[in-house]
A and B are shown apart, each in its own frame.
Chain A
């Protein structure tokens, strides 16, 4: 059974810092990995999707990397801003999944960026 772990569970940084969020998964046979952002009381917003054949994806100040063989992904946020404060979730779609597009989620990292 696929298990996804995110470290740290919570992170507080001053504005302007570069930071890294970590995601690890137990089964390296994945189809893709997706990073989401969740604001309090809101739904999930997709940030980046990395295909299993890719090493990284970039969107603005966000860069996500994937090392499938070691079961790890990182989300790098450059020059953090208070508006980046949210919970960040990673989710993997297993390659062996025969029942559609099921995602397995980590519990998330709660990020606070202080002005």
Chain B
């Protein structure tokens, strides 16, 4: 079972560069989301989607874009990387309805220099 797959696992960017973090799930979950994890701040929600074609902002959306063209994929784009975006990024998915658990990917560790 693949679950939630994130790529790449590690990335180093220069300030101003752009890149896309990939996330794919094979559980047919409607809900997908991106979090960033920083020391002393826990996990904070960046963007989320409740289904293909529907996205919305979370707690810390500035500097990031998302799209959801299929149920399976939910890429996160950094438009112009800044050192403040150095973090560990996690993608998660779950069913939208019911008391079901959320599943997380293994994370992408991003360093912006």
**How many contacting A-B pairs (Cβ < 8 A)?**
63
Chain B at the A interface: SS class: strand
Q: Which residue of B lies closest to A104 (CB)?
A: B45
Residues of chain A within 8 A of B58, CB atoms compared: 102
Residues of chain B within 8 A of A106, CB atoms compared: 42
Chain A at the B interface: SS class: strand
CB distance from B51 to the nearest CB of A (A): 9
- From B35, B102, B107, B109, A101 is in contact (CB under 8 Å) with B102
CB distance from A64 to the nearest CB of B (A): 12
Fill in one digit per residue for B55-67: 1 if any A CB lies within 8 Å of its CB, else 0. 0101000000000
Q: Are A34 and B56 interface neighbours, CB within 8 A?
A: no
Residues of chain A within 8 A of B56, CB atoms compared: 99
Known A100-B96, A101-B96, A105-B43: A43·B105 in contact at CB below 8 Å: yes
Residues of chain A within 8 A of B42, CB atoms compared: 4, 89, 105-108
- Report Cα–Cα, A43/B56, bound state, in Å: 23
